[in-house]
Structure 1
Amino acid sequence: MTYYQRTVTSAEEIISAHRSSTPLLPNATSALNWLRIEHANVLACLDHAASHEQPHHVVDLTRALAPFLLREGWPHIAALHERAAETARRIGDLHGEAGALDELGFIRYVTGDYAAATGFHERALALFEDLGDRHGQAAALNNLGRVRGRVDDYAAATSFHERALALFEDLGDRNGQAKALNNLGRVRYMTADYAAATQLNERALALFDALGDRRGQSSVFLSLGFILYMTGNYPAASDLHERALVVSEDLGDRHGQASALQGLG
């Protein structure tokens, strides 16, 4: 169980370029291949932990495996997070509960259930605030901003993203800053402020470049590509969407691939 938890965590760190420990796998390709081969065993471990009263493994291993399952489009990911949230609540793990609720909110966001997404993110934010967890607050605020942007509430979206950005800056979290800037850029794009959208995304790209975060780079390529398309620079837009597609394919990011193909189509 501990082996799988450590290796899944290491694999995700390698793929996302957020390494906090010595990697157990040599590179992103090896990490992705390992996850694809072993994820059924990891899921079996989760079921074993749930049925044998190992609640901390349920919470921690679900959190570690979640990014891979989301990228792969695994259909039962919401049920895993619901179990993790309930398990964390039962053992008094407020951090684990808040994290699982925030993940549930993101899943509802990507499936278009914006009301449910808002509810989960708001519950996560309240817990993070009670805990004094500023990083968790920033992540939940950023997620709430994305949801509000999808329902055309651009003023609220801007406020949430700006609050998240301020927290990430205070914490020195450059990856969080880049994500908030990218999201702010999307809001400006949706309101047809293409100059501001470009500037925000270029700031995000500089941070992602410095971090070596390829998924973040791909996200910005997509955003800048859509801006260029809307301003009539079709060749440059296609080039950026092709670059996003290549990165998404390398990372096994099916959502990213779909977005890039949409831009190219």
Structure 2
Amino acid sequence: EALECAEEGLALAETAQDQWEEAALRFCVGVLRYELGQTVPAVQELEAAAAVRRRLRDKLGIAEVLNRLGLALVDVGYPVQALDYFERSLALTQELGDRLGEALSLRLLAFVHLAQVDGDRKLSLSLFHKSLSLSKALDDPLAQSMCHEGMGDVLRELHDPRAAAAQYSQALALREAAARGGSGPAGGDA
């Protein structure tokens, strides 16, 4: 039903020649299709959204679309291509001073480096640390938690179970605090 409504809205935006609304709704349709497991049509819609964002010179919107396209590429087995999308998104968010977007792009890059069979674990750990620093500065406990989980995964892969367990504990504490409405454990440094 949500997809149907978004597609109807998209048709109206196209008829009205409202490119900003078209870009937003194409992105929405792409995300909904992706969530429904319709990867190929999702990618096509996201690429169309990116094209409209480029015409509008909407760099923030382009960065958002690039991250979604990267996630779709990871899902269909193209992590190297996904890295390119995430790196381009990172460059745009840094250029724009979008620290929230930068933290997300860093985290996505870190996860892809970790997930690759021959991925650079130390680079992944470094990217998670950078994302964590930004997430702390933004007081985003959920993002911090994801960084700690990712660092725990990297440390587990590097055969350091004690350090991995400490990261997982931090992640859990942050999630529990966020669920209670707090910002995280006191003195919660990694």
Per the shorter chain, which TM-score range? 0.7 to 0.9
Kindly report structure 1 stretches of 4+ aligned residues shifted beyond 4 Å: none
What CA distance in whole angstroms lies between the structure 2 residues aligned with 1:209 and 1:170?
Answer: 20
Distance change (3 Å), C-alpha of 1:120 and 1:248: farther
Alignment of 1:97 with 2:27, yes or no, is: no
**Equivalent in 72, 84, 91 of residue 159 of structure 1:** 84
The alignment's C-alpha RMSD in Å is 2.2
What CA distance in whole angstroms lies between the structure 2 residues aligned with 1:247 and 1:77?
Answer: 32
Can you list the C-alpha shifts for 1:151-201, whole angstroms capped at 9, x where unaligned?
221221111111111111111111111111111111101113221111111
> Is the contact made by 1:118 and 1:144 (CA closer than 8 Å) also made in structure 2?
yes
Letter of the 1:242 partner, please give it.
Answer: L
Distance change (3 Å), C-alpha of 1:114 and 1:132: same
Alignment of 1:213 with 2:140, yes or no, is: yes
Alignment of 1:222 with 2:152, yes or no, is: no
Match in the other structure for 2:123: 196
Can you list the C-alpha shifts for 1:207-238, whole angstroms capped at 9, x where unaligned?
11111223322332332233233334252353
Mapping for residues 31-70 of structure 1, pairs under 5 Å: none
Larger relative contact order (CA 8 Å, sep ≥ 6): 1
Distance change (3 Å), C-alpha of 1:217 and 1:82: farther
The percentage of counterpart residues that share the same residue type is 28
What CA distance in whole angstroms lies between the structure 1 residues aligned with 2:167 and 2:36?
Answer: 27
For structure 1, the 5+ residue unaligned runs are 1-75, 252-265
Match in the other structure for 1:131: 56
TM-score (norm 1): 0.60
What CA distance in whole angstroms lies between the structure 1 residues aligned with 2:96 and 2:39?
Answer: 29
For structure 2, the 5+ residue unaligned runs are 182-190
SS at 2:82 equivalent: helix
Match in the other structure for 2:109: 184
> Is the contact made by 2:145 and 2:174 (CA closer than 8 Å) also made in structure 1?
yes
TM-score (norm 2): 0.81
How many positions carry a matched residue from both structures?
Answer: 176
Q: Which deviates the most, 192-201 or 84-93?
A: 84-93
